[in-house]
Amino acid sequence: MAGSFTSNPERVLTFYNPEGTPLGPPLTLENVYARAFKKSDEILPPGQDLDSTPYNVTWNAEVDRQIQSRVTLRFSYLSSRTYDLFLVGPQRLPGTNPLLLMTNSGGSHYGEFETTALVRTSKFANMNFSYVHSSSRGDLNSFSQEYVPFEQPIIHPNFYSALNSDVPNRLIAWGQFQLPWKITASPVVDLHNGFPYSAVDALQNYVGPPNSLRLPTFMSFDLRLSKDFRIKFLPWVRNHTIRGSLGIYNVTNHLNPRDVYNNVTSPNFGHWAGPQHRFLDPVVDMVY
């Protein structure tokens, strides 16, 4: 897709006043490649492509320490940096018409510190507690964000900011418990910061720094109950174990919105939307 960017249909922008009258002639954004330099961008002539592709460098370090026979601590750090990301955004360089410029000057960085405790209280129960502190920042106008899986209707000017997946703090607890009648309970508690979002105006321009606002704190208590059994009267399954399970997601029915009215001109600005309600997930598996 990046290699055929200059062959894409050109965008034509027309702005109107409240009465529906055009404010001026349409603006056509020509699709061009540009090589990024420290002080300016050099537009490449037709037929010449960008001469580099994105690449990533990731490393991690981990230390495990057994405190007692039933307690193990784990400390880890992970760093992932991406360089030469393809960026796309509207620009108007000196002496040129409006452009939809694609460069290879983008980047992103993700870093996380994790500490985990694994506790085995008995042969019938084990628990795990994990806290992750992370930072995910980068250029917002990466080509994959703007064109995959669908081309965005509005392409903003690029900013380097918190990415849409940035979650600074996350606490997870999970475990397995053996209950009477050979039932296994597998609870999971997930608590983390809400994802970031941007406020926009009626023309979809950013209002304030992009991704400076956040959805409310996410909290979910999930539970899965499972039990193994056999069905001896069916020849084709009598030699296999059948595992039936019932998953209950968001047991407490906590408000976990997936979206928000982010247009400052809307009377619903700041109202949450798309909450994740409690739901059940029955599953039957055959264990070979």
pLDDT digits (tens, 9 = 90+) for 32-48: 998 877 667 788 888 88
Tell me if 259 is assigned to some domain.
yes
**Cα–Cα distance for residue pair 103/36, rounded to 1 Å:** 6
User: Is the CA virtual torsion 83, 89, 94, 95 positive or negative?
Assistant: positive
Tell me if 61 is assigned to some domain.
no
Cis peptide leading into residue 149 (ω within 30°):
yes
Tell me if 244 is assigned to some domain.
yes
Contact call for residues 273 and 258 (beta carbons, < 8 A): yes
**Cα–Cα distance for residue pair 34/263, rounded to 1 Å:** 32
Tell me if 29 is assigned to some domain.
no
Task: Indicate the pTM of the whole model.
Answer: 0.87
Domain extent for 184: 167-288
Determine the pLDDT at residue 119: 96
Determine the pLDDT at residue 277: 93
Determine the pLDDT at residue 3: 87
Average pLDDT value for residue range 97-110 = 92
State yes or no: pLDDT of 207 exceeds 90: yes
Average pLDDT value for residue range 254-264 = 96
User: Partners of 69 in the beta sheet?
Assistant: none
Looking at the structure of the chain, the number of domains it has is 1
DSSP state string for 50-67: PS---EEEEEEEEEEEEE
Q: What value does the mean pLDDT of the chain take? A: 92
Residue positions counted in the chain: 288
**Cα–Cα distance for residue pair 147/131, rounded to 1 Å:** 34
State yes or no: pLDDT of 94 exceeds 80: no
**Cα–Cα distance for residue pair 134/136, rounded to 1 Å:** 7
Tell me if 173 is assigned to some domain.
yes
State yes or no: pLDDT of 125 exceeds 90: yes
**Cα–Cα distance for residue pair 172/188, rounded to 1 Å:** 7
Tell me if 16 is assigned to some domain.
no
Determine the pLDDT at residue 40: 73
User: Is the CA virtual torsion 90, 94, 98, 100 positive or negative?
Assistant: negative
**Cα–Cα distance for residue pair 107/114, rounded to 1 Å:** 24
Tell me if 138 is assigned to some domain.
no
